[in-house]
Structure 1
Amino acid sequence: MNDEVAPHVWHHEEIIGHGIRALAEGGVDGAPLIDGRVLSVRATPVNGTSTSMAIGLSVLPPGGATPPHSHDAEELATVLRGEGTITIDGADFPVRPGSVVLTPSRSTHVTSAGPHEPLVVWWTYAPAGSEQRWLDAGAVDPR
C-alpha cells in the first residue's frame, strides 16, 4: 500500500445525499455553489488525497448547465442521479443514471441537467491540475 495516500471508499447514496443537500442550501463548506451548481473536490494531489488524479462531485439544478469550458485533463463523468445532456465539441450525448462519459482533453464541453430533477455527476480528471479552479473557490471536501 502507498504510504502517501490513504485508501478511501465512497458510497453513491451518501455522495448523492450530500450533493443534493448542498444544492438545497445554496452550497455548504467544501461544496460551494459555483456558476449555479455545487462542486466538491474529494481527492486531489494538492492536499495529498491522491497522487495523480482529481475526483469530485458536481450537482446541477433542474434546467441548469455549466458554462462551455475545456481543460487539459481528460474527464470521466459518471451520472449518479438525474438526466441531461453532455455536449462535447458540439455533439450531444444524452445521459442518465449509470451513464459514463469520457471527455477528451481540450474538448469544449457543457453539461446540462434535464428539467425535472438535479443532475448528480461524479467526475475524475486525469492528470490532476484542472481542479485547481474549484480548489481556489473553496470546493474541497473537508471529510
Structure 2
Amino acid sequence: MTGILLRPAGLPVKDRGGGIVTTPLVTAGRGSRAMLTGITEIAPGAAVPLHTHNCEECVVVLSGTGFAHIDGVDHPVQPRDASWIPAEVPHCFRNASDTEPMAIFWTYASIDATRTIVATGVTTRIDEER
C-alpha cells in the first residue's frame, strides 16, 4: 500500500461566495477509515452559513481567530483549537478579525458526506461541490 502527498497550491479551489474559499484535499474510501478532508479559508468578517452534515465532522483552526457556533452556542476559537461536531448538529464558523483571514482544516467521517444549509434546506454532497 502506498500513501499520497498533496500540496493545496496544486489542487482546485472552490469559491463558495461571501468570502469563503475551500480546497478539498483527500477523499479516501477504505472501509471504516473512509474520510473527506480539506481546508476552508474565511475572509475577515465572513462566516460559513449555518449548516448540518449527515456524518461527524472534525475541525481544526489553522490560523486566525473567530467563533465556532455549534448547536446554538458561540465558542471563541484560535489556532490549534479543535472541535468535533456530531451528525445533524447545526454549526458554522465565523472570522472575528477585520484584517486577518481564518483557515480551518476539516475532516468528514464519510466519503458520502452532505451539507444542508439551515436557512434554505438545500442539501449537496460535499464531493460534488468541487
Asked if these proteins are the same fold (TM beyond 0.5), I'd say: yes
Contact (CA 8 Å) 1:39, 1:134: kept in 2 or not? no
Larger helix share, 1 or 2: 1
Matches within 5 A, 1:125-140: 125-130=108-113, 133-138=125-130
Aligned length: 116
Cα-to-partner distance string for 1:91-119 (whole Å, 9 max, x where unaligned): 11111111011111110001101123111
Larger strand share, 1 or 2: 2
Q: 1:58 aligns with which of 40, 43, 63?
A: 40
Contact (CA 8 Å) 1:35, 1:66: kept in 2 or not? no
* Percentage of matched positions with identical amino acids: 29
Structure 2 CA distance for aligned equivalents of residues 133 and 111 of structure 1: 19
> What is the TM-score of this pair, normalised by structure 2?
0.78
Q: 1:88 aligns with which of 70, 77, 93?
A: 70
Contact (CA 8 Å) 1:76, 1:102: kept in 2 or not? yes
> What is the TM-score of this pair, normalised by structure 1?
0.71
Superposed CA RMSD in Å reads 2.2
Q: What 5-or-longer segments of structure 2 have no aligned partner?
A: 115-123
Q: What 5-or-longer segments of structure 1 have no aligned partner?
A: 19-27, 139-143
Q: 2:94 aligns with which of 112, 117, 120?
A: 112
2:37 partner SS: strand
2:84 partner SS: strand
Cα-to-partner distance string for 1:61-115 (whole Å, 9 max, x where unaligned): 0010011100111111011110000101101111111101111111000110112
2:104 partner SS: strand
